[in-house]
Amino acid sequence: MSVEQSLLGKDTNYPTEYQPEVLFPIARAEARAKYAHVDGIQQGIDWWHIFEISWLNLSGIPQVAIGRMHLPASSPYLIESKSLKLYFNSLNFAQFESQNQFIETVERDLSKAANAEVRLELFDVDQLNIAQPEGICIDHYEPERLENHPNASLLKLDAASSEEIVEIQLYSHLLRSNCPVTGQPDWGTVFLRYRGKKPCYRSILAYIISYRQHNGFHEQCVEQIYADIWENFNPEKLMVYATYTRRGGLDINPCRVSDFAWMPSPIRLARQ
């Protein structure tokens, strides 16, 4: 099924009965086709934070939590965000004998939709701490030129030290793209961990800003950023991790790595 057949951008009624069938998988293969040769394009995790989780205990008393979903990047399918919101809303009036039973039910349903093992962590509503970004913020640099659509030719090595091998982590808060169905803006902070010839920080910032009018799902944007940096800089190792702001009670945080030893721990930033 194509995303045009999903409920994204359409008026819908929120279910009051458990409806796992509302989950809408979207195949990753088409968007990945042109990057199939890139090392690590299917390595990593999509972390989702779900802020509107509730169910009933056996006494009918509502229980609430914040969830962190772990969806492997190797899964054949991602799950369309509105269908995930509707799915969690369908659990609001379902009774479970324990939190573990709730988690087991959700993991079973999401794993079936993604055709891969999906894991769910639950946190108390006051438990998920705000983290500070680590690395070098590149937002104060002045790009040589700006474009409104992704252009990998913007990426340049540092001309003054192009043979120097560095291991760095950079980040920018200036990532913006659009939902390809609704046109709504998506905002995020993107982290790049990199080992290889020293890149030009201004060029990386210009490239990140070039997504400003791009239409693409969060996961697809991160994979395109990863692939373009990999192909243009030929690094020894690379990690790209984007923490997107919340919409509809969900935030999506895709991460791709060339080496699993570089998998970061998931975080939640202040804007989320």
Domain ranges of the chain: 3-123, 136-262
pLDDT at 181: 87
pTM of the entire predicted model: 0.93
* Known catalytic membership, residue 259: no
User: Does domain 136-262 bear CATH number 3.10.20.440?
Assistant: no
Q: Report which DSSP code applies to 199.
A: B
Give yes or no for residue 39 having a pLDDT over 70. yes
In 3D space, the residue among 178, 182, 69 whose CA is nearest the CA of residue 121 turns out to be 69
Alpha helices in the chain (DSSP H): 29-32, 81-90, 99-114, 201-209, 218-233
pLDDT of amino acid 6: 46
179 is catalytic: yes
Lowest mean pLDDT among 5-19, 36-50, 117-131: 5-19
* 228 vs 238: CA distance, rounded Å: 11
| pLDDT in the model for residue 138 | 98
Q: In this predicted structure, which of 10-14, 63-67, 246-250 has the lowest mean pLDDT?
A: 10-14
Helix (H, G, I), strand (E, B) or coil at 64: strand
Q: Which is the catalytic residue, given 46, 186, 228, 251?
A: 186
Q: Under CATH, which number does the domain 3-123 receive? A: 3.30.1130.10
CA distance 65 to 96: 14
Q: Which of 11, 137, 158, 179 is catalytic?
A: 179
DSSP, residue by residue, 144-183: S---SS--GGG--B-GGGTT-EEEEEEEEEEEEEE-TTT-
SS3 29: helix
Do 136-262 and 3-123 fall under one CATH topology?
yes
* Residue pLDDT, tens place only, 133-190: 999 999 999 999 999 899 999 999 998 886 889 999 999 999 999 999 889 999 999 9
